[in-house]
A and B are shown apart, each in its own frame.
Chain A
Amino acid sequence: MAKRVAIVGTGQTFHKSHRPDVNGQELINEAVQRALADADLTMKDIDAILIGNMDHFEGINYVDCWSVDGCGGVMKPVIKITTGGTTGASLAIGGYHMVGSGMFEKVLIIGWEKNSESDTTGAITTAFDPIWDRQVFAGAISGLAAEAQAYMARFGASDRDGARVSVRDRKHAMNNPHAQLRKEVSLEDVLASPMLADPIHLLDVCPRSDGACAVIMASEDSAEKICPVPDWIWGTSAHNTYSYLGDGDWGRLTSMEQCAKEVFKKAGIKEPRKELDVIEMYQPYSFAGLIWIEDMGIVGHGEAPQFVWDGNTDMGGELPVNPSGGVIACNPIGATGLIRCAEAAMQVMGKAEGRQVPDVKFAVSTGFGGCMWTNMLLHGKRKPN
């Protein structure tokens, strides 16, 4: 009964810092309409819907029901998945499982957020243990700061190395009309921006955005009829690491390492640096652009700064990372992981317009969540064996 699964359409809003002109359902609808148009399908063709966001951000806890007017879910099965930062990537993996099971032919997957409707740091703090970590700790940046400090101490990297990644992603965002922040910055701008939590400056981190993304997946029975060049999903992986911050292996992302091993094995990829053509990484801050490509196995431990300085991850380089501008340029959190998936799909389908990497055969997209968990999808142009 297991079926091969492909992405046959994607749609996104033009993400902004706030969208007072639409409510949440209307925002969702913009992305859904664009995905349907991209695949040349109508809601009648859709068998089930997966939707997700961050519960606390809008204070609406039954989004699966509340959203039906906007998501098209009237009298259809609608399932909510919410897994913090990885929500969008978990939605994509859930959709892959539903279609791959053979029980649903075409599934519509939606990630969305209106970050402007609450206090993002306060809402994120509710993700941490109330008795322990939350008594000493606030928001998302502090955990990332611990990772960056440990990485710098272990491998001798500097804040300039981190800033180089931010300069790259913000430059790439200039090619993406959907990105919220489209302004080039210099290394000096990043290093001179206010310190939030040492060693992370304001321009090292992502913003908070209002936005939605929709992806349509179909099984091998219809994918090639819907779409001339579908984006085939070769493998998915998800790993969580711990409950308490003190259990982490700081300076390494072990969940990323494990996900990469699994998905590359499924596709027979032995040298990801050579065999991958593009990466859309859920990289909420600059230093992750160093640490996590090491854990992904692109380069060895401690080698990422030089690899990035040499331009290998820039557009036109050996392995471009985040042609969309990534999370540093745009972050509607419940949608962010699904945007990575959609952008990777667009690269494979040849629909990435001004941010297209030439001739993409394999692409990786990832999701990341605050307790250092990782989700990953491997996308390919060729139909899996």
Chain B
Amino acid sequence: MSEIFKGIEPMVHNSKISVPYSWWAGDTASKFFISLRDARKIIAPRCGKCGKVFMPPRKVCPTCFTENTDWVDVSDEGTVVSYSVSRRQLEAIPGDKKVPVIWGLIKLDGADTALLHYLDEVDPGSVTIGMRVKAVFAESRTGGIRDISHFKPVK
């Protein structure tokens, strides 16, 4: 590095900007979250044209481009499509989760797309693609995706 400093001490300026955001989930996602929170039930919208069932819920089918008005019940059990194990405690990992954190893409029975969520109550080394898992609901639910605490293997 010495050749680029040319003997001049590099000054640095640290930001004190703070920009907190509030993200509205919208009617479609809110309907899903209310069902999770109040009834521990997983529901999903279905495209009236191609019949695809979307997880996470979608207001409009991305391929048919028509509004999804039907809702169907989706199982709380599903299959692991892919997964990884985070080994570094990054700032962006929620504070209540300690590495190794396992997350998976889970295709719930009755849905056509996978839901991203945590896997737990399982050793990181024994997770496999194709594994059957079941939702564990959080005791305290506030109307977000973490009203499902995690997914655990089906015994």
A residues apposed to B, CB below 8 Å: 16, 19-21, 59, 119, 121-122, 125, 130-133, 135-139, 142, 145-147, 149-150, 153, 194-198, 200, 242-248, 250-251
Contacts and interface: CB of A to CB of B under 8 A. Distances in A.
A146 B83 contact: yes
Contacts of B135: none
Contact of B83 (A59, A119, A133, A149): A149
Given A119-B91, A121-B92, A244-B116, A136 B84 contact: no
Nearest to A20: B10
B25 A131 contact: yes
A268 B62 CA distance: 32
B23 A196 contact: no
A153 B145 contact: no
B8 A21 contact: yes
Given A20-B5, A21-B4, A246-B114, 11 more contacts: A121-B91, A122-B91, A125-B92, A132-B116, A136-B117, A142-B84, A149-B129, A153-B129, A198-B85, A246-B105, A246-B107
A46 to B, nearest CB: 28
A90 B115 CA distance: 30
A135 B103 contact: no
A125 B94 CA distance: 12
A146 B17 contact: no
Interface in B104-141: 105-107, 113-118, 124, 128-130
A145 B88 CA distance: 13
Contacts, number: 114
A246 B124 contact: no
A196 B113 contact: no
Interface residues of B, number: 46
A181 to B, nearest CB: 15
22 contacts: A20-B10, A21-B8, A59-B15, A121-B91, A130-B23, A133-B116, A135-B146, A136-B145, A137-B116, A142-B84, A145-B84, A146-B84, A147-B82, A149-B84, A153-B128, A197-B85, A198-B87, A244-B113, A245-B114, A246-B115, A248-B105, A251-B82
Q: Counting chain B CB atoms within 10 Å of each CB, which of A16, A131, A136 scores highest?
A: A136
B39 interface: no
A47 B106 CA distance: 51
B64 interface: no
Q: Counting chain B CB atoms within 10 Å of each CB, which of A131, A133, A147, A150 scores highest?
A: A131
Contacts of A248: 105
Contacts of B50: none
A245 B23 contact: no
B105 A146 contact: yes
B84 A131 contact: no
